[in-house]
Structure 1
């Protein structure tokens, strides 16, 4: 896939579900989100990379009652199609919605795709 994806589930903490092909996606993720701010929803472009954050479209919450955020670092063609949070929802969510529906309630996430 053309992205890094970090989120949390009902009972598991924040982790990467897709590493974008990086052995360690954390430095790339940190760099992309460094200027994206702390708002619950964000879309920040730096060059050819997009940092995208939105709240779970299904309104799912973790065991503590917090709404679950999804954070993506988009590359390539995927990044070129996203200019706003709404674009990101339309482009990215259909790519991951089914997988997340099966992952979010697991006791331990499957991790990298």
Structure 2
């Protein structure tokens, strides 16, 4: 599964932690989340990709006390058969949970990985 993943940490602002193999993932990310609004949980898909947003499953917060959101663009055939936020979360979160646990509390964000 290919992912674009944007989130923030305790002290660092929104960053791409996974770039989905794009040199500049912003256009694909903007396209996926265009018109989604600011609902805390979102799953919207088209033929090629899905936009997924949910609050941090462990309730982690940034230094301002806000729950940290996770936003993903799920690319490729992984979106087939995913019909809800919960389905998508179960597909994606196990793949990134350990990575986020290691970096969310660091003073500087990591660079985007593939």
Equivalent pairs counted in the alignment come to: 113
Q: Which residue of 1 aligns with 2:95?
A: 95
Deviation at 1:93, TM superposition (A): 0.3
* Structure 1 residues without counterparts, runs of 5 or longer: none
* Structure 2 residues without counterparts, runs of 5 or longer: none
Residues 69-88 of structure 1 aligned to structure 2 (within 5 Å): 69-88=69-88
Rate the CA distance shift 1:81–1:16 in 2: closer, same or farther, 3 A: farther
Deviates more, 1:34-43 or 1:12-21: 34-43
Deviates more, 1:10-19 or 1:40-49: 40-49
Q: Which residue of 2 aligns with 1:18?
A: 18
Deviates more, 1:83-92 or 1:18-27: 83-92
Deviation at 1:35, TM superposition (A): 2.6
Q: Which residue of 1 aligns with 2:3?
A: 3
> RMSD of aligned C-alpha atoms?
1.1
Q: Conserved in 1, the CA contact under 8 Å of 2:32 and 2:49?
A: yes
Corresponding residue SS for 2:45 = strand
Corresponding residue SS for 1:16 = strand
